[in-house]
Amino acid sequence: MKEKENTEWSGMKWLILLTVIIGTFLGRLDQTIVNLALPKIINDFGITVGAAGWIATAYILANAVFVPIWGKLGDTIGRKKVYILGFSIFIFGSVLAGLAWNLPSMIIFRVIQAIAGSADYPTAMAILAVTFREGRERAQALGIWSSSFAAASVFGPLIGGPLIDNFGWRSVFLVNLPVGIIGLLMALAYIHESVSDRPTVKFDWWGAITLGSALSGLVLVLDQGSDWGWLSLPSIICYFTTIVFALWFYFIERDHEEPIVDFKFFKNSAFVNTLGNNFVVFMGMMGSLFLIPIFAQTFLGYSATQSGYLFMPMAAALMMAAPIGGALTGRVKPQYVIAASTFVAAIGILLFAHLDPRSTALDIMIPISIMAFGMGFGMAQRTNVIASVVPKEEIGMASSVLAIARNIAGAFGIAIFSTILSNRIKTNVLVIAARSIIKDLSPSGIAKASQLIILKAEIAAYNYVFVVSSLLVFIGAFVALFLRVEKEDTETHIIVE
């Protein structure tokens, strides 16, 4: 009888994993799929491209600000309650966004979606961490779940294109209703309630407000800084806001009995090292992936839908690699798995540096697959270490810190590599022009020469950015070797060094 109960519980655990994957996948899919709908939204609402950008910016801001709040609430009042509440509001916000009638209403409804969607990551990770207690099994579950983030980024263009073409832009929001209801019913049926062993008496509202303000300033300048100018007045105001509120947050949390972020985490070298590796890898990955569709459409003549097809092998590579990484738990030290996976991801990024206008689809698909495979088999170990090095009552809080690090890393990658690309193109144009000899001085000859100089400058700039990105990730691989994890206590979720 006991053996039968254990078998049933084992099967139930994997149903719980599938349940949270649906929620995570839907939330992440929504972020990527909406970008495809922006041209149609611009036409319907009669707005500018710059104004439409706030639809995405508002979502990113609200999502970043509320992640730590949901993580702390999940530890306090119950992760299942918070997960279902967030999921329910997300579905409601999706329907509202699908019915939006102008830009202000769309921004408000997207903020509602983002606030609700930000509940998923910290609560889902905490739910899995307390559901899968055995080290190797937990690592596999967390790895598979983590890979759903990247998989959603891949499927966004594949699903979004046909939906928009056949049913209009509103369908990308309204499709969340039927899928969301299925995920919600599964959550009600399968997820078990769990709370922290130390219930919160006084919620850290001032910590939440100051952290939210600091993150708002940082995310806003990363998202808009390239358009404003990095030294413009709005950017400087954002820098000032970020620094002031970050310091205020630190002084509040340092002495608070029940902080929204426990700074003791950062005294644990394994936590800090793994968090740093996550930051570097996501920064390099997001910064590179952001440029691939632009390159394909600008220099290879691909359509948006064709560009989306280039990412299909990425999903397959991630799904194959995640279980492999989980299976290595307990057999190979985490630092070696994380370092090796980061190294493979860096090689994949470096292969992009050979792209030129003669490149084929395979020239993009092969590096993407290598990079994704590297990301995938290290994902389980990265997430498992973070879940394991903190007390089990603070898993939600720790996972919210990881979510913030990954989100900020992606924003940093896109902002920094976009700026490097723009500056490098300008430099290359001047250098190539100075070294070029134009023999045909007719107007058509000069025009053709100018086009070739700009083309060569742009291609060289893309190659340069991919090299810089790969070097950054190579450094992340080297640093990962210094991670020291000797013994894991799966009951307390603490790793002893």
pLDDT band at residue 141 under the 50/70/90 scheme = confident
Write down the pLDDT at residue 172.
86
Do 400 and 67 contact (CB within 8 A), yes or no?
A: yes
Residue 71 confidence (pLDDT) above 90: no
Tens-place pLDDT, residues 348-395: 999 999 988 889 999 999 999 999 888 878 877 777 777 777 776 677
- More reliable by pLDDT, 476 or 11: 476
The neighbouring-strand residues paired with 487 are: 496
Kindly report the average pLDDT of the chain as a whole number: 79
Q: What is the mean pLDDT of residues 177-182?
A: 88
Write down the pLDDT at residue 247.
92
Q: Which residue has the tokens 């084929």?
A: 360
Do 425 and 143 contact (CB within 8 A), yes or no?
A: no
Residues 6+ apart with CB under 8 A from 372: 150, 313, 314, 315, 317, 318, 321, 348
Residue 206 confidence (pLDDT) above 70: yes
Write down the pLDDT at residue 114.
85
Q: What is the mean pLDDT of residues 51-67?
A: 76
Residues 6+ apart with CB under 8 A from 337: 325, 328, 377, 378, 381
- Residue 489, phi then psi, degrees to nearest 5: -100, 100
Do 149 and 28 contact (CB within 8 A), yes or no?
A: yes
Element (H, E) at 487: strand 487-489
Write down the pLDDT at residue 349.
92
Tens-place pLDDT, residues 437-475: 776 666 777 777 777 888 888 888 899 999 999 998 998
pLDDT band at residue 489 under the 50/70/90 scheme = very low
Write down the pLDDT at residue 494.
34
